[in-house]
Structure 1
Amino acid sequence: MPSTATAVVPDLSDSRHRVIRRNGAVVPFDASKIQVAMTKAFLAVQGTGGAASARVREQVAKLTEQVLGALERRQPGGGTFHIEDIQDQVELALMRAGEHEVARAYVLYREERARERARQKQQEQELCTELQVRQADGSSQPLDRERLRAVIDEACAGLGAAVSPELILQSTLKNLYDGISEAELYQAPILASRILIERDPAYAYVSARLLLDRIRREVVGQPCTQAQMTERYSDYFRDYLATGIEHELIDPRLAQFDLDRITAALRPERDLNFQYLGLQILYDRYFLHVRERRIELPQAFWMRVAMGLAIEEIDREEQAIAFYEVLSQFDFVSSTPTLFNSGTLRPQLSSCFLTTVADDLDGIYESIKDNALLSKYSGGLGNDWTRVRALGSYIKGTNGKSQGVVPFLKVVNDTAVAVNQGGKRKGAVCAYLETWHLDIEEFLELRKNTGDDRRRTHDMNTANWIPDLFMERVEAGADWTLFSPNDVPELHDLTGAAFRARYEEYEEQALAGKIELYKRLPAVQLWRKMLTMLFETGHPWITFKDPCNLRSPQQHVGVVHSSNLCTEITLNTSDKEIAVCNLGSVNLVAHLRQPAGQDPLALNPDLSAEQILAAIDGEKLARTIRVAMRMLDNVIDINYYALGKARNSNLRHRPVGLGLMGFSDALLALRIPYASDAAVRFADISQELISYHAIDASADLARERGTYQSFAGSLWSQGVLPIDSIEILAQSRSQGVDLDRSQQLDWSGLREKVRGGMRNSNCLAIAPTATISNIVGVSQGIEPIYQNLYVKSNLSGEFTVVNQYLVEDLKRLDLWDEVMVNDLKYFDGSVAPIDRIPAALKPLYANAFETDPDWLIEAGGRRQKWLDQSQSLNLYFGTPSGKKIDDTYRLAWRRGIKTTYYLRSLGATAAEKSTVQTGTLNAVPGSLKACAIDDPTCEACQ
């Protein structure tokens, strides 16, 4: 969000901004009228003397600038303001300036004018004509007030006293004008409801339902209420399939399903389960359209995805309905590429692709071309660049010297910008480099805003690929040696003890003069530069090579050379194989047992393992995961592969990544503060349950469909499960792995079952879930709550997000009111400085920046026990220091965490304060700031 303080006064007196008068007429914006009105109010109170007039002119000019600035922030691209809204801003500006007598005079004047207008309206009512609505064909029709009221009433139905249909209706009518277009009419109640979300989260559902009314009008071609749509959903779905097939958007095989059986399974009432942000995202980015006209409603969307994933099943109707049930009830959601493309003619359903780049021009530019092709069809990319020789190394073919890795990364950066996944979302790639590479120091600076811009990559992500030996040297205060990979070719494919032995041999050769191009420096010096650049630029991320490899089930057939764009995928890559992963996430909060009525001040920071197990609906979780794993496995066979190396790898190993979302929601539902032992215990136990059922489901799929091709020799075939592989890593380290290895389930039976075969080489990976969690209205992945009230910006616009759990608690305490809303705005969503909120409640609602990052590491370490891949783990620092960042990342390594993602620290303000009445707040100096990282490819920000 831009700062609310600005010295530049926008000029709203142009054709972009207009004013709706009280009679509905629309007139050009005239800033001089604001000055005139305020001047009259000042002079009425202070008189007309020369000195007074001069002071008035100066004060009025200053206040007018403030009013115009506030209005511009509301409509930066142009639009209409109601006259009452403008006058509200004038009144607010006067109060903030301490001009209370002037403000009082202004309010009394407004009230008198309002009474006068009411009298005139009463006298002239029979002479007023009905507002006319301009249709798409240019004709006009009278405003149908009864239908407008009916739509609003229907949108509020079932949401109780928290919402007011009358308030929305009156606000909507106030902003209508004679000659309003049909499109503006449908948008008006949405806007009226949307601004009320900060008052109560229930308005997020009202806004979504009002948006749904507009979508139904677009999809069906005529006004249609939810009740009317319920009756015709079956016929609509058949027409929708025919339209999609006709325009080559939908696979014709979907029409070959038993449509009577399919349409009977549709649940139109689930269209009402969306919040506004989720439905708007679906409308903007996911629903199929013909020449910009959407043809999908939500349940048609979910069923299209489900049918596409079941298209090669024997009983495809049964499986499609099972898939539809978990999707439409928000129990499990497939990743974005699957939602985009399932059931279409080009079903590119996979999420992530990992490649390794060869050390020659053919290999380098083939990799860049591969990036473009993979990005074109909605895949996130991770590239391993470690084999490319360093700056100054000898090139035999030209008898010259190499320019190193960086110039090629500039080309990769520009390719990602150019190929933007069909306009649906921005192309995104992450380059990985091992810590011993001689170009590592320049690699660390790629995201800096200073220096030679030809050697900067402002749009691409970067990550360090760190061997354990380096971390041991850091801990010991020892030196580290950098090499060019063409001089030390084995290091790229070696891990653990084998890497250590060969690396030390190369160091001895360098000291003996047998290797000329190298650099020796203190390991801690390089480590500090890594952390400094990470703090300053957000890159490169910290990821650990040896945990990813030594715990990999597939180490018998290759090496993990990098992770992916979001650091949760750890799969082998080679010149012959591009690793592919297929993702989806369980909604954890949807698998809790309904808790009894809660004391709003009672927290559970010490919840036991037995209590946590009792709180999770294990049977429902097992059912959901069994369906989800089948869906993910089907992706592999249905998927469109842009490259043969990706297809061969995916069919040979069949990896999938089942993750989770709604972790923070689950903690809030169970009243567990994130910074507590119970939260760490919950992370451990919930992940153990998910892992157990995912592995069990894959083993059952192997019995039904056969094991994956490279199963023989894998850790699975040896009966070594993720919990067992920790010991392999511990034995390779001089310090072992400092991690609690306790377990709640009996794994012995499953261990023997797995020996008989697995359908998937990898089963588990926790993605950021940035968009799909927004669609279903839960917290992202494993993140702590960002803020309790904030404005979220993404490709679909700006959306107010309010913590509904906090609102419910404050309502029970009779503390939820307009003053509390203003307090949360003023303190950027933090409850800590608000005196009215009981101290006992504040730990539960501490935001990400108020939570010590060690708690995220401890929870992440417990999850990592059960993962055969990794997790997208952001770290938040409210008051960062070099020592704290150093300690946190060393702790991550000691706990055996494989990868970390963004480092986030406090920066620019996140909440607009133009409507905060600061004089009535529990104000304190200073306020929390939002994430400072401004990265267009950041999943957590998108």
Structure 2
Amino acid sequence: MYVTKRSGVGEPMDISKIRIVIDFACRGLRVDPLELEADAQIQFREGISTKEIQQLLIRTAAEKVSPENPDWQYVAARLLLYDLYKDVGHIRGYKVKDKINGRYKPYNPESFYNLVKNYAEKGIYGEYLLREYSKEDFQALASYIKPDRDLLFNYTGIKVLYDRYLVRDEEGNVIELPQEMYMLISMSLALPEKKEERIKWVKTFYDLMSKHEVSLATPTLMNARRPHTQLSSCFVLTVDDDLYDIFDNVQKAGQISKFAGGLGIYLGKVRATGSPIRKFKGASSGVLPVVKILNDVMVYVDQLGMRKGSASITLDIWHKDVMDFLEVKTNVGDERKKAHDIHPAISIPDIFMKRLKNREKWTLLDPYYCKNVKDGKNLEDFYGEEFEELYQRLERELPPNAKKEVDAFELWKRLLTVVFETGEPYIFFRDTANRLNPNKHCGVVYSSNLCHEIVQNMSASQHIEDSLDPQTGEIVHRKKSGDVVVCNLGSINLGKVYTKEDMERVVPLLVRMLDNVISINYYAIKEAEYTNRRYRAIGIGVSNYHYCLVKNAIQWESEEHLKFANALFERIAYYAIKGSMELAKERGRYPLFEGSDWSKGVFFGRDAEENQRMSEKNGNNLNWIELAEEVKTYGLRNAYLLALMPTGSTSLIIGATPSVDPIFAKFYKEENMSGILPQVPPEIDRYFWHYKSAYSIDQEWIIRAASERQKWIDQAQSLNLFIDPEHVDGPTLSKLYELSWELGLKTVYYCRSKSLTEIEECESCSS
């Protein structure tokens, strides 16, 4: 019997070769290779391809993954890796030996330089890599690559990497291997470093990523090393109450989505339905048509057919159109008012929450009548007590057509009903966010980004003029840039990095990597470049939080968890600030540093002495007083530092639990662009009884833990709530959101709901 090899050549069937591959995949793992061979039940036939045999082995190993036998995920990963090694070797023209032994080398260092050279000429890799690194540099770095680190990937990780991140040629064939990807990303991120130190930094960055100690955001993993280095995850736009600016932002949204950026869009300045236009009463159709236009842009600019664009749109709870806005994703009502592809978010001031508690009336206002209320500013430009005073004055003084009185509790009930139905809107507590904004001296925060963890200064751009050169027909448009927030994100793997020593080593390096992202970034719109260089804002998050708790024998629903969270995130905060301060010594402070809370020694709304006391109480004993003095002297390189993003795909790559979420279940199959993937938490066989799934946890403990983390985070958290509708009613859900506000959270992301048809079963007790 003959088999067909990848080259198309036939050769006699050799069962021993299959056993060599199975042995390679199973070596050192707690699995039985004979079991895989038996269960695969390969249906041999004349001309069967070696690729088909390999795919069958991969599928069989993946199907065997369970909480009792989690090592099968590494067997499936190695089989897929072996397949990848063979394919890449075939495309790039080098031999990968069939017989896998100690001398077997799946990577070919000699081909690394030619890989980049050949595909840079075709516009697949960035030519800057060849300009900035010599052939000798490539050879030195190729020899530094550690192929054994591929064995850290589980099946889901390598499958997601293979399907979405590894670079492909014009025919769609993968041309680079995982460690080469990490090396080329590191080479890209080290470009801002001094030439004489660059190779050292490349190796340092490579080690951090390839050991899975840190992860970078999806756009960074995808686009570093590519011609267009659009490395940022998300952008936040502010739309002014002006037709030119509305459609200017529609155009910006399209350009950002084209380069795979997510969007947060604030529409609170746009006048309400029935507002006058050029003094014609009742002419405005309000915010809903703008929402629908942005929705259609997200569908149309579908990122090369890979996925739809994605945007959250925020409106204030005092906006006169808020009731219609709440309904944009529900399945009832006028379909002409629906926008099913955007994510609604509601901005809530403290005064609303107070009135809700007291069951008082609430007044919806038209932003058109809330302009120039004080010092040339609009109502939305204020927060806290100033906002409350101005809001109450407008409640009294505005004409009847400019406002509408509702019951605060009825409005809140409608919001919660929509949350039950759709999991949204996201919630943004604007007063808390602005009070604790370290850069309140130079701006205000109206809303958050797509994933609701970014809290930074925002402002609308201003149209100045269009000028025409009558001789050439050249038209020049002039405008003054506003602040378009840019998210430059990376996360720490808490499964590997959580001690004081590890944080001291890793966190400053991640700060440096993300600062370099800003320097080499490609900006789809100029306002983003302007803002990014003025603030140099970054967002450091985490993954594997639940695994970190389990590994340290800490139960989610415990006071011990709260203490652990406080101490852990203090360490991250301290070394992030210290790292940014050291970087400021070397490269200079961010341009808007003077006048910030940082410059006054006020961190997270507290002075150095209070932070010092908190550190002594939680056992870290970090020297906040000395650090505050150093920051006053040298400044910070980055205006914002910490934000806990969702880390969905990047957690899958490194086999981590996502962000700060509890596990979804002890075993489930995730369906995404890579197909159906088996999911088990890290070391589930060892810690089976310690893990507790999200829907089994009292959600108050999720909020209380988030509150402890928030004490050391200058931005916010993508905080999900997990509810079972059979056991959580409206009053309970209301209590959770109210508790989030009371405990100082700035945002609440999704409210994820367990299916009503799902059979309830205690996982820890099921056989």
Normalising by the residue count of structure 1, what TM-score does the alignment of the two structures yield? Answer: 0.73
Structure 1 counterpart of 2:370, one-letter code:
V
Equivalent residue number for residue 667 of structure 2: 789
* Mapping for residues 133-148 of structure 1, pairs under 5 Å: 133-135=3-5, 140-148=10-18
Pairwise CA distance, 1:135:
4.8
* Mapping for residues 199-210 of structure 1, pairs under 5 Å: 200-210=69-79
Distance in 1 (CA, whole Å) between partners of 2:108 and 2:41 is: 31
Pairwise CA distance, 1:179:
2.9
Q: Which of 246, 254, 258 is the equivalent residue of 2:121?
A: 246
Q: Which of 338, 341, 349 is the equivalent residue of 1:456?
A: 338
Matched position secondary structure for 2:486: strand
Structure 1 926/662 Cα, relative in aligned 2: closer, same or farther at 3 Å?
A: closer
Distance in 2 (CA, whole Å) between partners of 1:473 and 1:530 is: 15
Q: Which of 625, 628, 633 is the equivalent residue of 1:751?
A: 628
Q: Deviations over 1:380-405 (max 9, x none)?
A: 11000001111111111766511111
Structure 1 727/452 Cα, relative in aligned 2: closer, same or farther at 3 Å?
A: farther
Contact 1:534 1:903 in 2 (8 A): yes
Distance in 2 (CA, whole Å) between partners of 1:851 and 1:400 is: 50
Identity %: 37
Pairwise CA distance, 1:246:
2.6
Pairwise CA distance, 1:248:
1.5
Does residue 587 (structure 1) correspond to residue 493 (structure 2)? The answer is yes
Distance in 1 (CA, whole Å) between partners of 2:492 and 2:331 is: 39
Contact 2:597 2:603 in 1 (8 A): yes
Contact 1:444 1:539 in 2 (8 A): no
Distance in 2 (CA, whole Å) between partners of 1:742 and 1:435 is: 38
Structure 1 869/725 Cα, relative in aligned 2: closer, same or farther at 3 Å?
A: farther
Distance in 2 (CA, whole Å) between partners of 1:528 and 1:253 is: 55
Pairwise CA distance, 1:475:
1.4
Distance in 2 (CA, whole Å) between partners of 1:928 and 1:446 is: 36
Which structure 1 residue ranges, 5 or more long, are not aligned?
1-129, 592-615, 729-739, 811-840, 911-924, 930-942
Distance in 1 (CA, whole Å) between partners of 2:439 and 2:220 is: 25
Q: Which of 536, 559, 565 is the equivalent residue of 1:683?
A: 565
Distance in 1 (CA, whole Å) between partners of 2:714 and 2:349 is: 19
Matched position secondary structure for 2:700: helix
Equivalent residue number for residue 467 of structure 2: none
Matched position secondary structure for 1:293: coil
Equivalent residue number for residue 533 of structure 1: 418
Contact 2:494 2:542 in 1 (8 A): yes
Q: Deviations over 1:169-202 (max 9, x none)?
A: 2333534433323432221110121111125110
Matched position secondary structure for 1:689: helix
Structure 2 counterpart of 1:746, one-letter code:
N
Structure 1 509/670 Cα, relative in aligned 2: closer, same or farther at 3 Å?
A: same
Distance in 2 (CA, whole Å) between partners of 1:337 and 1:860 is: 27
Distance in 2 (CA, whole Å) between partners of 1:262 and 1:179 is: 41
Matched position secondary structure for 1:431: strand
Pairwise CA distance, 1:658:
0.5
Structure 1 550/445 Cα, relative in aligned 2: closer, same or farther at 3 Å?
A: same
Equivalent residue number for residue 779 of structure 1: 657
Q: Which of 697, 708, 722 is the equivalent residue of 1:851?
A: 697
Structure 2 counterpart of 1:201, one-letter code:
P
Q: Which of 111, 118, 138 is the equivalent residue of 1:259?
A: 138
Structure 1 224/546 Cα, relative in aligned 2: closer, same or farther at 3 Å?
A: farther
Which structure 2 residue ranges, 5 or more long, are not aligned?
372-377, 461-481, 611-615
Equivalent residue number for residue 746 of structure 2: 898
Structure 1 counterpart of 2:350, one-letter code:
D
Matched position secondary structure for 1:391: coil
Equivalent residue number for residue 729 of structure 2: 881
Pairwise CA distance, 1:468:
0.9
Equivalent residue number for residue 171 of structure 1: 39
Equivalent residue number for residue 822 of structure 1: none
Matched position secondary structure for 1:873: coil
Structure 1 counterpart of 2:26, one-letter code:
C
Distance in 2 (CA, whole Å) between partners of 1:809 and 1:689 is: 26
Does residue 309 (structure 1) correspond to residue 189 (structure 2)? The answer is yes
Aligned pairs, number: 713
Matched position secondary structure for 1:800: strand
Equivalent residue number for residue 478 of structure 2: none
Contact 1:880 1:905 in 2 (8 A): no
Contact 2:273 2:282 in 1 (8 A): no
Report the aligned-residue RMSD: 2.1
Does residue 157 (structure 1) correspond to residue 36 (structure 2)? The answer is no
Structure 1 416/847 Cα, relative in aligned 2: closer, same or farther at 3 Å?
A: same
Contact 2:647 2:659 in 1 (8 A): yes
Structure 1 counterpart of 2:128, one-letter code:
R
Does residue 235 (structure 1) correspond to residue 110 (structure 2)? The answer is yes
Pairwise CA distance, 1:231:
7.0
Distance in 2 (CA, whole Å) between partners of 1:509 and 1:794 is: 53
Contact 2:379 2:391 in 1 (8 A): yes
Structure 1 424/229 Cα, relative in aligned 2: closer, same or farther at 3 Å?
A: farther
Pairwise CA distance, 1:517:
2.2
Contact 1:788 1:806 in 2 (8 A): yes
Q: Deviations over 1:646-672 (max 9, x none)?
A: 000000110000111100000111121
Matched position secondary structure for 1:403: coil
Does residue 869 (structure 1) correspond to residue 712 (structure 2)? The answer is no
Equivalent residue number for residue 273 of structure 1: 152
Equivalent residue number for residue 834 of structure 1: none
* Mapping for residues 485-564 of structure 1, pairs under 5 Å: 485-489=367-371, 490-510=378-398, 514=399, 516-564=401-449
* Mapping for residues 207-606 of structure 1, pairs under 5 Å: 207-221=76-90, 223-224=96-97, 230=105, 232-255=107-130, 256-257=133-134, 258-290=137-169, 291-314=171-194, 315-396=197-278, 400-489=282-371, 490-510=378-398, 514=399, 516-575=401-460, 576-591=482-497
Distance in 1 (CA, whole Å) between partners of 2:489 and 2:106 is: 35
Matched position secondary structure for 1:236: helix
Contact 1:335 1:351 in 2 (8 A): yes
Does residue 181 (structure 1) correspond to residue 19 (structure 2)? The answer is no
Matched position secondary structure for 2:237: strand
Contact 1:550 1:725 in 2 (8 A): no
Normalising by the residue count of structure 2, what TM-score does the alignment of the two structures yield? Answer: 0.90
Matched position secondary structure for 1:141: strand
Distance in 1 (CA, whole Å) between partners of 2:179 and 2:166 is: 11
Pairwise CA distance, 1:238:
2.4
Pairwise CA distance, 1:808:
2.2
Matched position secondary structure for 1:404: coil
Distance in 2 (CA, whole Å) between partners of 1:809 and 1:434 is: 44
Pairwise CA distance, 1:136:
5.8
Matched position secondary structure for 2:594: coil
Equivalent residue number for residue 32 of structure 1: none
Q: Deviations over 1:664-704 (max 9, x none)?
A: 00011112111111112221111110010001000110000
Pairwise CA distance, 1:491:
1.2
Pairwise CA distance, 1:254:
2.2
Distance in 2 (CA, whole Å) between partners of 1:693 and 1:497 is: 34
Pairwise CA distance, 1:541:
1.4
Structure 2 counterpart of 1:784, one-letter code:
P
* Mapping for residues 1-12 of structure 1, pairs under 5 Å: none
Structure 1 285/231 Cα, relative in aligned 2: closer, same or farther at 3 Å?
A: closer
Structure 1 669/781 Cα, relative in aligned 2: closer, same or farther at 3 Å?
A: same
Distance in 1 (CA, whole Å) between partners of 2:716 and 2:253 is: 23
Structure 2 counterpart of 1:528, one-letter code:
K
Pairwise CA distance, 1:554:
1.1
Contact 2:608 2:624 in 1 (8 A): no
Contact 1:310 1:319 in 2 (8 A): yes
Equivalent residue number for residue 701 of structure 1: 583
Equivalent residue number for residue 473 of structure 2: none
Structure 2 counterpart of 1:194, one-letter code:
A
